[in-house]
Structure 1
């Protein structure tokens, strides 16, 4: 693995425009304030330009509508989008994943009926139940449980502590971080006939997850009461997110940390849910809509709309209300 690059070598990858020059070899990326003279940084907003003067970084990736002078023995790489360009640089310097001494650890419990694809790696103390199918190059880190009749697609990586319950269907190229729960019972109870307790409603469905889905640590996707809880291709889910039974997420949705979907919520394609937002059961949020952080959605949201507040409403109306309230408190 290459450990250092010239600014020209990095630009060959980014396809940007170099302004200035540096002879310093670049050994990694870092944020503006912490960067040393052997590191590259990035500037994606004009509010960070002032930090460039005091930064020790020898180079910076800069969005092309931002004006900044490189300085002595320093270089700027102008690109269309600094964030996306920096992602490519981060990938270059990304340390390798933990290495396994053996593909199938002897402490793993793998049922005789399991079908393992080519190149699968199963870590210590994993459990794989009856009739599970793992595609090619699936990686299960230590202490992962995959229960009966589950299918996992090619190149999916499952980190330690994750539990995938029975009958779930997982796509290819997914990443589940530590302690993810897939397919636990949905939260279904009704008052008992005698009124003295709660009766558990059986949850007989499953979870279906598409391709290229990433789920953060300690997040939960509950199985459906019947049919399936579905997460579409390309969805990205942060840490500590709750997705309840029978919810359906379209393609490429984003859910930030501490947000949650109640039962039978439907998200269209490209929906963005901000941190700590909560979505009421049986609600539909249509494609391209955005829910602001901390909001509570109690009704359907139109395609492309941005809602904010509790209860959530059009973000412009809510901001006007907040301004009006602030003025009242100052009188």
Structure 2
């Protein structure tokens, strides 16, 4: 791997360095296992003792660290270690390892437009009138449907499926196995169904007989903004009439499911196995913890935080922190949980009084 000087790396991080700035490092490592050309990551004082176990000559340390006493030849000082990790990992990321150009086994429709310096791996299929932006990297066995538009600098890992008409911005990053633009889960019955009756009456009157389900086709497509990252095996259904939308800067973890017609705002963070049902709207900068879910046709306001495992069944105001099933204000949920834990003791006390 090609190395980088400590001076150049410090410039990328935007942090000061001390010692030998010409020292070349070739990868990042935990302190205890670092080799002579590795950059040891010890951004917290608790990791300092591990430096003696490894062979690193340079390290990234916490602000104000006495790097010379740790036996190093050079060090970069950072105030926010996790923030520094973004530039460090990007500097050592080898990418997909694709050869320049288009692999001979790829099937590219003659009407497709491929930008400059694009790398396309084996067995990729690109449909009619698709557009792929400059400098994009597309790993093996990716399929891109007809009339799809992908912006510049895309990184698309193996096995991704992008359905017809999807519109995707610049710098998209898609992990293996994601499916963008599958049909939405949308069906209807000839007459009002038992589900509709239950919803209208809250279960008080359900008299409809069983009926077959008729499929409603999805023709709305998917629209994804710039700088969006999509995890492994994420599924984003296309809209019924209008597009399902993912705002710029949003990050979707593995196995997230976005239903048809959903609108996800800008810079949202959706953790593993989040599920959002059809036509729900998330504002900007929302965060949903792992396995949280949102019912259909509701609105979650901007800057809302939904705790892991929560089920959101009604609208959430802007900036609200919610938790539980059904989701309530986070502090309310904590109070309810504490009360629930006390319940056996309370009941035991009541039982004891009754017996006396």
> Does TM, scored on the shorter chain, surpass 0.5?
yes
Query: Contact 1:61–1:86 (CA<8 Å) still a contact in 2?
Result: no
Answering whether residue 220 of structure 2 is matched by residue 205 of structure 1, we say yes
Residue in structure 1 matching 2:250, options 235, 240, 254: 235
Worse-superposed segment, 281-290 or 13-22? 13-22
Give 1:314 shift.
Answer: 1.4
Instruction: Determine helix, strand or coil for the equivalent of 1:282.
Output: coil
Q: Cα distance 1:14–1:168, how it changes in 2: closer, same or farther (>3 A)?
A: closer
Give 1:34 shift.
Answer: 4.9
Structure 2 partner of 1:214: 229
Counterparts of 1:1-331 in structure 2 under 5 Å? 2-3=2-3, 5-6=5-6, 10-16=9-15, 26-31=25-30, 34-35=33-34, 39-42=38-41, 49-55=45-51, 56=53, 58=56, 60-64=59-63, 70=67, 71-74=69-72, 77-100=76-99, 103-193=101-191, 195-329=210-344
Unpaired runs of 5+ in structure 2? 192-208, 347-356
CA distance in 1, matches of 2:11, 2:218: 53
Query: Contact 1:24–1:37 (CA<8 Å) still a contact in 2?
Result: no
Instruction: Determine helix, strand or coil for the equivalent of 1:125.
Output: coil
Worse-superposed segment, 75-84 or 227-236? 75-84
Query: Contact 2:62–2:79 (CA<8 Å) still a contact in 1?
Result: yes
RMSD: 2.9
Whichever of the two has the greater Rg, that structure is 2
Worse-superposed segment, 176-185 or 191-200? 191-200
Query: Contact 2:5–2:21 (CA<8 Å) still a contact in 1?
Result: no
Instruction: Determine helix, strand or coil for the equivalent of 1:113.
Output: coil
Q: TM-score, normalised by structure 1?
A: 0.86
Give 1:42 shift.
Answer: 4.2
Query: Contact 2:222–2:244 (CA<8 Å) still a contact in 1?
Result: yes
Q: Cα distance 1:33–1:108, how it changes in 2: closer, same or farther (>3 A)?
A: same
Query: Contact 1:243–1:260 (CA<8 Å) still a contact in 2?
Result: yes
CA distance in 2, matches of 1:12, 1:111: 43
Instruction: Determine helix, strand or coil for the equivalent of 2:89.
Output: helix
Worse-superposed segment, 127-136 or 181-190? 127-136
Tell me how many residue pairs correspond in the alignment.
324
CA distance in 1, matches of 2:12, 2:106: 41
Give 1:178 shift.
Answer: 1.2
CA distance in 2, matches of 1:9, 1:208: 37
Q: TM-score, normalised by structure 2?
A: 0.80
Query: Contact 1:296–1:311 (CA<8 Å) still a contact in 2?
Result: yes
Instruction: Determine helix, strand or coil for the equivalent of 1:208.
Output: strand
Higher helix share: 2
Give 1:221 shift.
Answer: 0.5
